[in-house]
Structure 1
Amino acid sequence: MSKIETRLSDLNITLPAAPAPAANYVPYVITGNQLYVSGQISASAEGLVTGRLGETMDVAEGAAAARLCGLALIAQAKAALGDLDRITRVVKLGGFVNSTAEFIDQPKVVNGCSDLMVEVFGDAGRHARSAVATPALPLGVAVEIDAVFEIADA
Protein backbone atom coordinates (compact mmCIF):
# COMPACT_ATOMS: atom_id res chain seq x y z
CA MET A 1 0.00 0.00 0.00
CA SER A 2 1.33 3.46 -0.91
CA LYS A 3 2.19 6.10 1.67
CA ILE A 4 -0.84 8.24 0.81
CA GLU A 5 -3.17 5.21 0.70
CA THR A 6 -1.91 4.29 4.18
CA ARG A 7 -2.51 7.83 5.40
CA LEU A 8 -6.06 7.77 4.00
CA SER A 9 -6.68 4.48 5.79
CA ASP A 10 -5.21 5.84 9.05
CA LEU A 11 -7.51 8.86 8.74
CA ASN A 12 -10.48 6.54 8.10
CA ILE A 13 -11.07 8.22 4.73
CA THR A 14 -12.60 6.24 1.89
CA LEU A 15 -12.37 7.90 -1.49
CA PRO A 16 -15.49 8.00 -3.65
CA ALA A 17 -15.43 6.73 -7.22
CA ALA A 18 -14.04 9.38 -9.55
CA PRO A 19 -17.09 11.18 -10.96
CA ALA A 20 -17.65 11.05 -14.72
CA PRO A 21 -17.75 14.37 -16.60
CA ALA A 22 -21.22 15.87 -16.91
CA ALA A 23 -20.58 17.70 -20.20
CA ASN A 24 -18.06 18.09 -23.03
CA TYR A 25 -14.81 18.09 -21.05
CA VAL A 26 -12.36 15.61 -19.56
CA PRO A 27 -12.03 15.03 -15.80
CA TYR A 28 -8.29 15.69 -15.82
CA VAL A 29 -5.35 16.60 -18.05
CA ILE A 30 -1.70 15.73 -17.48
CA THR A 31 0.82 18.02 -19.13
CA GLY A 32 4.48 18.00 -18.23
CA ASN A 33 4.74 17.47 -14.49
CA GLN A 34 1.31 18.86 -13.71
CA LEU A 35 -2.10 17.28 -13.27
CA TYR A 36 -5.07 19.58 -13.78
CA VAL A 37 -8.32 18.26 -12.30
CA SER A 38 -11.59 19.74 -13.54
CA GLY A 39 -13.96 21.31 -11.04
CA GLN A 40 -15.53 18.80 -8.68
CA ILE A 41 -18.92 19.62 -7.21
CA SER A 42 -20.17 18.99 -3.70
CA ALA A 43 -21.71 15.53 -3.77
CA SER A 44 -21.82 12.58 -1.41
CA ALA A 45 -22.94 8.98 -1.77
CA GLU A 46 -26.44 10.24 -0.90
CA GLY A 47 -26.46 12.76 -3.76
CA LEU A 48 -25.72 16.39 -4.50
CA VAL A 49 -25.09 18.82 -1.67
CA THR A 50 -27.07 21.84 -2.75
CA GLY A 51 -27.67 25.17 -1.13
CA ARG A 52 -26.57 28.75 -0.92
CA LEU A 53 -24.22 30.07 1.73
CA GLY A 54 -25.79 32.93 3.66
CA GLU A 55 -29.27 31.71 2.74
CA THR A 56 -29.80 27.97 3.30
CA MET A 57 -26.36 26.91 4.57
CA ASP A 58 -23.93 28.06 7.25
CA VAL A 59 -20.12 28.07 7.16
CA ALA A 60 -19.77 24.63 8.77
CA GLU A 61 -22.14 23.06 6.23
CA GLY A 62 -20.29 24.82 3.41
CA ALA A 63 -16.91 23.61 4.69
CA ALA A 64 -18.27 20.04 4.81
CA ALA A 65 -19.43 20.45 1.18
CA ALA A 66 -15.95 21.73 0.23
CA ARG A 67 -14.38 18.68 1.89
CA LEU A 68 -16.53 16.48 -0.36
CA CYS A 69 -15.11 18.37 -3.35
CA GLY A 70 -11.63 17.65 -2.03
CA LEU A 71 -12.36 13.93 -1.75
CA ALA A 72 -13.54 13.94 -5.37
CA LEU A 73 -10.38 15.82 -6.44
CA ILE A 74 -8.21 13.17 -4.78
CA ALA A 75 -10.32 10.41 -6.37
CA GLN A 76 -9.78 11.99 -9.81
CA ALA A 77 -6.04 12.26 -9.12
CA LYS A 78 -5.97 8.57 -8.24
CA ALA A 79 -7.86 7.72 -11.44
CA ALA A 80 -5.36 9.80 -13.43
CA LEU A 81 -2.18 8.58 -11.79
CA GLY A 82 -2.95 5.19 -10.31
CA ASP A 83 -0.60 5.95 -7.41
CA LEU A 84 -1.27 8.99 -5.21
CA ASP A 85 2.37 8.92 -4.09
CA ARG A 86 3.17 10.48 -7.49
CA ILE A 87 1.72 13.74 -6.16
CA THR A 88 4.65 15.84 -4.99
CA ARG A 89 2.68 19.03 -4.29
CA VAL A 90 -0.84 20.42 -4.27
CA VAL A 91 -0.10 23.56 -6.27
CA LYS A 92 -3.43 25.42 -6.39
CA LEU A 93 -7.10 25.11 -5.57
CA GLY A 94 -9.77 27.24 -7.21
CA GLY A 95 -12.89 27.40 -5.03
CA PHE A 96 -16.32 28.64 -6.08
CA VAL A 97 -18.96 29.13 -3.39
CA ASN A 98 -22.67 29.50 -4.16
CA SER A 99 -23.46 32.45 -1.91
CA THR A 100 -25.59 35.51 -1.35
CA ALA A 101 -24.19 38.96 -2.02
CA GLU A 102 -23.94 39.55 1.73
CA PHE A 103 -22.01 36.35 2.53
CA ILE A 104 -18.29 37.11 2.96
CA ASP A 105 -16.83 33.93 4.44
CA GLN A 106 -15.96 32.09 1.21
CA PRO A 107 -12.38 31.45 2.47
CA LYS A 108 -13.74 29.69 5.57
CA VAL A 109 -15.90 27.48 3.35
CA VAL A 110 -13.04 26.51 1.00
CA ASN A 111 -10.94 25.71 4.08
CA GLY A 112 -12.90 22.44 4.17
CA CYS A 113 -10.98 21.35 1.07
CA SER A 114 -7.69 23.04 1.98
CA ASP A 115 -7.62 21.39 5.40
CA LEU A 116 -8.23 17.98 3.78
CA MET A 117 -5.29 18.46 1.38
CA VAL A 118 -2.93 19.20 4.28
CA GLU A 119 -4.39 16.34 6.31
CA VAL A 120 -3.77 13.88 3.46
CA PHE A 121 -0.57 15.21 1.84
CA GLY A 122 1.12 16.92 4.82
CA ASP A 123 3.30 19.92 3.95
CA ALA A 124 3.03 18.99 0.25
CA GLY A 125 -0.69 19.72 0.62
CA ARG A 126 -0.12 23.42 1.34
CA HIS A 127 -1.17 25.36 -1.75
CA ALA A 128 -2.05 28.63 -3.39
CA ARG A 129 -5.79 29.20 -3.59
CA SER A 130 -8.72 31.34 -4.59
CA ALA A 131 -12.13 31.38 -2.90
CA VAL A 132 -14.71 33.16 -5.03
CA ALA A 133 -18.37 33.93 -4.48
CA THR A 134 -20.81 33.10 -7.25
CA PRO A 135 -24.58 33.64 -7.35
CA ALA A 136 -25.20 30.12 -8.69
CA LEU A 137 -23.37 26.89 -9.48
CA PRO A 138 -24.28 23.96 -11.74
CA LEU A 139 -27.18 21.87 -10.46
CA GLY A 140 -27.55 24.22 -7.49
CA VAL A 141 -24.55 22.73 -5.67
CA ALA A 142 -23.03 24.64 -2.76
CA VAL A 143 -19.36 24.41 -3.78
CA GLU A 144 -17.17 23.57 -6.79
CA ILE A 145 -13.39 23.28 -6.60
CA ASP A 146 -10.70 22.53 -9.20
CA ALA A 147 -7.05 21.70 -8.57
CA VAL A 148 -3.55 21.67 -9.96
CA PHE A 149 -1.12 19.02 -8.65
CA GLU A 150 2.60 18.69 -9.29
CA ILE A 151 3.49 15.08 -10.09
CA ALA A 152 6.57 12.91 -10.31
CA ASP A 153 7.27 10.68 -13.32
CA ALA A 154 5.73 7.22 -13.20
Structure 2
Amino acid sequence: MSQDQEIYRRIADAGIVLRAPAKPAAAYVPFVETGKLLFLSGHIARREGLVWEGQLGRDMETATGTQAARAIAQDLLGTLHAATGNLAKIRRIVKVLCLVNSTSAFTEHHLVANGCSELLEEIFGDAGKHARSAFGVAQLPTGTCVEVELVAELF
Protein backbone atom coordinates (compact mmCIF):
# COMPACT_ATOMS: atom_id res chain seq x y z
CA MET A 1 0.00 0.00 0.00
CA SER A 2 1.42 3.42 -0.94
CA GLN A 3 2.01 6.11 1.67
CA ASP A 4 -0.97 8.20 0.52
CA GLN A 5 -3.25 5.16 0.50
CA GLU A 6 -2.09 4.31 4.03
CA ILE A 7 -2.81 7.83 5.31
CA TYR A 8 -6.29 7.89 3.80
CA ARG A 9 -6.99 4.36 5.08
CA ARG A 10 -6.12 5.50 8.61
CA ILE A 11 -8.46 8.46 8.19
CA ALA A 12 -11.28 6.19 7.03
CA ASP A 13 -10.58 3.69 9.83
CA ALA A 14 -10.87 6.54 12.34
CA GLY A 15 -14.29 7.43 10.89
CA ILE A 16 -13.10 10.84 9.76
CA VAL A 17 -14.70 12.66 6.85
CA LEU A 18 -12.41 15.35 5.47
CA ARG A 19 -14.21 18.67 5.29
CA ALA A 20 -13.30 21.77 3.32
CA PRO A 21 -11.78 24.57 5.40
CA ALA A 22 -14.28 26.80 7.17
CA LYS A 23 -14.75 30.24 5.68
CA PRO A 24 -12.57 32.71 7.61
CA ALA A 25 -14.53 34.74 10.14
CA ALA A 26 -12.24 37.77 9.79
CA ALA A 27 -9.40 39.17 7.67
CA TYR A 28 -7.18 36.10 7.18
CA VAL A 29 -6.82 33.00 4.99
CA PRO A 30 -7.09 29.36 6.14
CA PHE A 31 -3.48 28.55 5.21
CA VAL A 32 -0.30 30.02 3.75
CA GLU A 33 2.47 28.07 2.05
CA THR A 34 5.97 29.52 2.01
CA GLY A 35 8.96 27.49 0.92
CA LYS A 36 8.43 23.99 2.29
CA LEU A 37 6.31 25.15 5.21
CA LEU A 38 2.54 25.22 5.41
CA PHE A 39 1.01 27.41 8.13
CA LEU A 40 -2.61 26.72 9.11
CA SER A 41 -4.60 29.48 10.79
CA GLY A 42 -6.23 28.76 14.10
CA HIS A 43 -9.15 26.32 13.90
CA ILE A 44 -11.82 26.54 16.57
CA ALA A 45 -13.68 23.62 18.10
CA ARG A 46 -16.96 22.70 16.43
CA ARG A 47 -19.52 20.08 17.33
CA GLU A 48 -22.22 19.13 14.82
CA GLY A 49 -21.28 22.16 12.73
CA LEU A 50 -21.72 24.66 15.57
CA VAL A 51 -19.15 26.41 17.72
CA TRP A 52 -18.24 24.21 20.69
CA GLU A 53 -18.53 26.72 23.48
CA GLY A 54 -17.28 26.40 27.02
CA GLN A 55 -14.54 27.16 29.47
CA LEU A 56 -12.34 24.45 30.93
CA GLY A 57 -12.44 24.46 34.71
CA ARG A 58 -15.81 26.23 34.78
CA ASP A 59 -18.39 24.34 32.72
CA MET A 60 -16.25 21.79 30.88
CA GLU A 61 -14.12 18.87 32.06
CA THR A 62 -10.67 17.99 30.72
CA ALA A 63 -11.96 14.90 28.87
CA THR A 64 -14.49 17.02 26.97
CA GLY A 65 -11.79 19.54 26.07
CA THR A 66 -9.66 16.66 24.80
CA GLN A 67 -12.56 15.57 22.57
CA ALA A 68 -12.87 19.14 21.28
CA ALA A 69 -9.14 19.22 20.43
CA ARG A 70 -9.52 15.91 18.57
CA ALA A 71 -12.43 17.39 16.60
CA ILE A 72 -10.20 20.30 15.66
CA ALA A 73 -7.50 17.88 14.48
CA GLN A 74 -10.07 16.38 12.12
CA ASP A 75 -10.77 19.84 10.69
CA LEU A 76 -7.03 20.50 10.43
CA LEU A 77 -6.72 17.33 8.34
CA GLY A 78 -9.38 18.68 5.98
CA THR A 79 -7.49 21.96 5.64
CA LEU A 80 -4.18 20.15 5.09
CA HIS A 81 -5.86 18.10 2.35
CA ALA A 82 -7.32 21.24 0.75
CA ALA A 83 -3.93 22.95 0.85
CA THR A 84 -1.93 20.05 -0.59
CA GLY A 85 -4.39 17.99 -2.62
CA ASN A 86 -2.78 14.88 -1.11
CA LEU A 87 -1.78 14.36 2.53
CA ALA A 88 1.20 12.26 1.40
CA LYS A 89 2.83 15.59 0.41
CA ILE A 90 3.29 16.31 4.11
CA ARG A 91 6.78 15.37 5.30
CA ARG A 92 5.90 15.99 8.94
CA ILE A 93 3.82 18.00 11.34
CA VAL A 94 6.30 20.48 12.79
CA LYS A 95 4.44 22.49 15.43
CA VAL A 96 1.03 22.63 17.08
CA LEU A 97 -0.17 25.54 19.19
CA CYS A 98 -3.20 24.83 21.37
CA LEU A 99 -5.11 27.62 23.11
CA VAL A 100 -7.52 26.53 25.82
CA ASN A 101 -10.33 28.77 27.03
CA SER A 102 -9.90 28.16 30.76
CA THR A 103 -10.20 29.51 34.24
CA SER A 104 -7.06 30.69 35.99
CA ALA A 105 -7.18 27.58 38.22
CA PHE A 106 -7.26 25.09 35.32
CA THR A 107 -3.88 23.36 34.80
CA GLU A 108 -4.52 20.50 32.36
CA HIS A 109 -4.03 22.34 29.08
CA HIS A 110 -1.46 19.74 28.01
CA LEU A 111 -4.04 16.97 28.40
CA VAL A 112 -6.59 18.88 26.32
CA ALA A 113 -3.98 19.37 23.58
CA ASN A 114 -3.33 15.62 23.53
CA GLY A 115 -6.66 15.19 21.73
CA CYS A 116 -5.17 16.90 18.70
CA SER A 117 -1.62 15.58 19.02
CA GLU A 118 -2.61 11.94 19.41
CA LEU A 119 -4.84 12.00 16.32
CA LEU A 120 -2.08 13.58 14.21
CA GLU A 121 0.30 10.82 15.28
CA GLU A 122 -2.37 8.18 14.63
CA ILE A 123 -2.80 9.44 11.05
CA PHE A 124 0.79 10.36 10.11
CA GLY A 125 2.76 7.97 12.33
CA ASP A 126 6.19 9.28 13.32
CA ALA A 127 5.73 12.19 10.89
CA GLY A 128 2.80 13.30 13.05
CA LYS A 129 4.97 13.76 16.15
CA HIS A 130 5.54 17.47 16.63
CA ALA A 131 6.72 20.25 18.88
CA ARG A 132 3.84 21.78 20.81
CA SER A 133 2.74 24.58 23.09
CA ALA A 134 -0.49 24.52 25.06
CA PHE A 135 -1.72 27.24 27.35
CA GLY A 136 -4.81 28.82 28.80
CA VAL A 137 -6.42 32.05 27.76
CA ALA A 138 -9.24 34.05 29.31
CA GLN A 139 -11.42 33.82 26.19
CA LEU A 140 -11.37 32.68 22.56
CA PRO A 141 -13.33 33.89 19.51
CA THR A 142 -17.06 33.14 19.67
CA GLY A 143 -16.64 31.54 23.09
CA THR A 144 -15.10 28.35 21.69
CA CYS A 145 -13.41 26.09 24.22
CA VAL A 146 -10.25 25.32 22.21
CA GLU A 147 -8.37 26.73 19.22
CA VAL A 148 -5.45 25.05 17.46
CA GLU A 149 -3.02 26.22 14.79
CA LEU A 150 -0.47 24.06 13.01
CA VAL A 151 2.73 24.21 10.96
CA ALA A 152 3.61 21.38 8.57
CA GLU A 153 6.66 20.69 6.41
CA LEU A 154 6.07 19.61 2.82
CA PHE A 155 8.15 17.31 0.61
- How high is the TM-score relative to the length of structure 2? 0.94
In structure 1, give the amino acid aligned to 2:143.
Answer: G
Q: Equivalent residues in 2 for 1:119-138 (5 A)?
A: 119-138=122-141
What does residue 70 of structure 1 align with? 73
Q: CA deviation at 1:46?
A: 3.8
Q: CA deviation at 1:14?
A: 1.7
CA contact (8 A) 1:94 1:130 kept: yes
SS of 1:123's equivalent in the other structure is helix
What does residue 9 of structure 1 align with? 12
Q: Equivalent residues in 2 for 1:1-154 (5 A)?
A: 2-152=5-155
Number of residue equivalences: 152
Q: CA deviation at 1:10?
A: 2.2
Q: CA deviation at 1:40?
A: 0.2
Structure 1: give runs of 5+ residues left out of the alignment.
none
Give deviations 1:13-66, integer Å, cap 9, x for gaps.
Answer: 222332111110010000111110000000133411100000000000000011
CA contact (8 A) 2:19 2:79 kept: no
Structure 2: give runs of 5+ residues left out of the alignment.
none
RMSD: 1.1
SS of 1:136's equivalent in the other structure is coil
CA contact (8 A) 1:90 1:127 kept: yes
How many percent identity over aligned positions?
Answer: 43
